[in-house]
Structures are given as structure tokens and as C-alpha cells.
Structure 1
Amino acid sequence: MSQPRHGFRAGLDSVLLGAAVASDSTALLDLGCGVGTAGLVALAHNPALAATMVDQNSDMLALARLNAEENHFAARTTVIEVDVAAKGAARLAAGLRENAYSSVIANPPFFDSAGGTLAKDGARADARHMGAESLDLWVKTAAGAAAAGGEVIFIYPVESLPPLLSAFAARFGAITILPLSPRADVPVTRVLLRAVKGSRAPLTMLSTRALHDVEGRAFTPQFDAILRGTARLVW
């Protein structure tokens, strides 16, 4: 997997996001795809899946194209350069369709740009920092792009969860929250949120899953298999 030498680099969150896509999905939209990690993981698990990858960073998209080619997924991958938070007309002009994708995924920037220190690298700052208003625009874009009955999945740090959950609750039903903790005896650090467009089903909070064994740095068998590409995230 080719990644930039400096700036934001995809990692565990991207792999988990791609592995969380429904096994019967046929059309995937990866918002803010970066180098394409999440989308490529989803493609590896599902030979019937086609992926559209969207980002505003042309350098990242060049790497996403390269990664799709090197992993033999180019024929099932479409890359679009546009700001996820752009107006609808701009997104449509760029080729992003509405009501079209059975799965929409995102690992959006998560630190509120009004607080903390922005990264010196511009691409890294864009990938990590965003306010609640921009986050709501990402969810709005996901809602418009998802097909009726389609799933929308975001991965996010737990300390920044409230505005994301609010944006989901305003647009979707059947929200499912999967809390993830580094180990069984420590607090949750990140969550996966999944919702269904057009559903009115209530919210479900699943049991917390630990990424690592109690001692040492080894991943639990479940997550080790996911990171090795031999298992999906079933939730």
C-alpha cells in the first residue's frame, strides 16, 4: 500500500472501516478516501463490489489510483476529486451520484479546528481537523449519496462522538454503535457508527470489543484476522 512519506497516513481505523462493509453490498462510496485503504479492504472482501473513492487532495487520489492498480482493483474502482462538503451541484458535476450507493463509508477529520493545534503539514491538517458544521455536511453528503435502504458507516474517536451522533440521528434510523477499546480493562477510544437510510428502527449499542489482549501489544484473534485480511468485521 503506497502512502505519502509525510503527513496523514492510513492505519487501523481505515482497515476496520473497510472490513465493516456489508458482505452483500454492491456499490461502495468512500468519502475522504485518502490513499484508498478502506475502500480497497472492502473490495478485497467482496469480489462483487465496485468502489467510488472521493477526496479533494489530488496527491492522495494519485496514490489511491496506484494502490487500486497494484492490488488489481482498478477495473472496480472509480476515483473522483471533489470536496466532500462541497455544494450538491459541484459534487454531481464531479461525478458523485445521489441515491446510488448501497454502502457509504467515511473516516472523517475529527479534531475540532477551533481547539487544539493544527498540524504544520497542510494535507495532515485537512485530514485531521474539522468543526461540527463541516462534519454535518459530510453526513449530509453521505445521506444524499446512499441508496434507499443503504448503510452509512463512519469511524470516529469517542471524545468527538456527540456531533456525529447528532448528525446521524437527524437523518437515519437503525443506528448501531460498536464501541472499541484498546484493551478490555480500559475506556473506549473509538466507535463505529452504522445507520440505514430510510429506516425508523431504534438505536442499538453493542457490547465493547477490545482490540488487544490484556497484556502485550498483540491483537485479539478477531482483530488479528481482520488486519491480516482473512476475516470481515461482523457486527
Structure 2
Amino acid sequence: MSITDFFGQQIRLAQSDTGHRAGTDAILLASLVEASEAGLVVDAGAASGAAGLCVARRFPFAHVKLIEIDRGQIALARQNIAMNDFSDRVEALHGDLLGSYEERKKQGLVQEDADCVITNPPYLDAAAHRASPDQDKSRAHMMPQEGLTFWLKSCMTMLKPKGRLHMIHRADQLSEILSALPKNLGAIQIIPIHPREDQPATRLLLSATKNSHAPLTLATGFILHEANGQFTTKAKALHEGQCGFNDL
């Protein structure tokens, strides 16, 4: 385990030295949240809590629930909550987004009370990668066939009507993402994320509203790096926690 500064040194983050480590994906995801959505925010599949903690830092009035299945990551998330003095408004809970409705109900994941759900679902295809022998770790990093559909439905059971969903995912999974979206999501906006201006998008940011019928919009692509490898001015502002996407 190591402890590093994150989000323009506004967050101290304990992370495992092996496996998943938070970076740009978490910051982009947290930067989608707007003040009007930051009452109760759920970070679904939170790992050590980076994205949710960034939301808590951006909005001092926000209450955040970090939902994670890997108990090792939950322990790190709880350490991060305490280390950043968020214990009064951030909590880390064990939960399985791919569990049955009854299992999720027991875990407190079906209240439909969240103003906003942010999520960075597992990217790895369970059929193409060797799973960890630890069941929780395996389910934290592997997405079974049709798993994204169920994952997003689980997110819907946590969102209140007209609540907002924000997700980051791989750009090459766009077709699967659109197929997996629940029918009661509208006002969908997709932002392609490009490593450089001359390179194809590698990530997608998706935002949507529960129980909306507004049409889908495709936003202008967001560029992370200049030709010299440095962050663009806008990307640097997000990474340092100076603003969110709606402020750019």
C-alpha cells in the first residue's frame, strides 16, 4: 500500500501497490457531477473511493456512499475517508451490484433515494481474462456477459426519479453500452475522451437522467494531452479540482 496526493493535492489517497489504482478515469467521472445533483451521491463500484472522495471535496454539502464488493478496497476506502476528514458525510459499504434484488435490498441498494450515481464499471470481459480465485476480487474487476445491463439496472434502483447517472467506460464498448442502457434513461449525453487531438477516443463519459424522454446528444470530444504530452489547460483544471465539466 502507498499513500499519494490526488486531485491537485486536495485528497490523500491510500491505494494498493498492485492491481487497480485510481487516476484520470476517477477524476473525469467526479468532474461530471454538478452542484444541483450533489445531495446524496452514490459511487457504485468505488474501489478505494477516489471518485466519490473527489465529489465530496468539490461539494462540502454532499453526502457520498461508496459501494464496493472487494473488502480489501473497502478497507482502503474507509482509511481514505478518515484520512481526509470525511467521516461525517462519506461512508463505505459492502455491496454487490450484480447480486439479486433481495441481496441488494439487504445491502441497502434499492432505496431510490440518490440524487446522483457515478460509476466506473469493471472493464474486463470475464470470458477473455483469468479470474482471481478470490470471488469478491473477481467480481470487482470482471464483467460477465450481459453484466453491464444488470449493473446499470442496479444503479437505477438507487436513483430517485429524475436523478442523474454518470458513467465512464471504454470507447470501443459504445455499442454494448447503448444496448445495456435501461429504457427509462433519457437526456443521454456522450463525451468522447481523446488522449491527444490526433488520436481516437479511448474513453467515453456518459450522463443521463432517470425517467427522462429527452433525446441523446453527442458532445464535442475532450482532449487530455497536448502534442508534448502535457495536460491541456482544461484537463489540467479538472485534475487539479479547479472546476467541473459544466464550468469549462
Per the shorter chain, which TM-score range?
Answer: over 0.9
Q: Deviations over 1:106-161 (max 9, x none)?
A: 1011132223x337685775444313411111100111111111101110011122
Secondary structure at 1:2 match in 2: strand
| Pairing partner for 1:165 from 178, 188, 200 | 178
Conserved? CA contact 1:33–1:39, under 8 Å: yes
* Structure 2: unaligned runs, 5 residues or longer: 1-12
Of the three residues 14, 30, 41, the one matched with 2:26 is: 14
CA distance in structure 2 between the aligned counterparts of 1:186 and 1:111, rounded to whole angstroms? 23
Report the CA distance between 1:229 and its aligned residue: 1.5
Q: 1:33 aligns with which of 29, 33, 46?
A: 46
2:88 aligns to what?
75
Matches within 5 A, 1:137-148: 137-148=150-161
Paired residue for 1:233, among 219, 229, 245? 245
State whether residues 15 and 21 of structure 2, in contact with CA within 8 Å, keep that contact through their aligned partners in structure 1.
yes
1:216 to 2:216 alignment: no
CA distance in 1, matches of 2:69, 2:26: 17
Bigger strand fraction = 2
Count of residue pairs the alignment pairs up: 233
The 2-side partners of 1:15 and 1:41 are apart by 7
CA deviation map 1:38-60 (0-9, x unaligned): 00011111111100111111110
TM-score normalized by the length of structure 1: 0.93
SS at match of 2:245: coil
- 1:149-164 to structure 2, matched below 5 A, reads 149-164=162-177
> Among the aligned pairs, what percent are the same residue?
32
Question: 2:219 — aligned with what?
Answer: 206
User: Please, what TM-score do these two structures have when normalized by structure 2?
Assistant: 0.88
Give the aligned residue type for 1:228: E
Distance 1:169 1:176 in 2: 14
Cα distance in structure 2, aligned partners of 1:217 and 1:127: 31
Q: CA deviation at 1:162?
A: 1.6
Task: Give the unaligned 5+ runs of structure 1.
Answer: none
1:98 and 2:104 are equivalent in the alignment = no
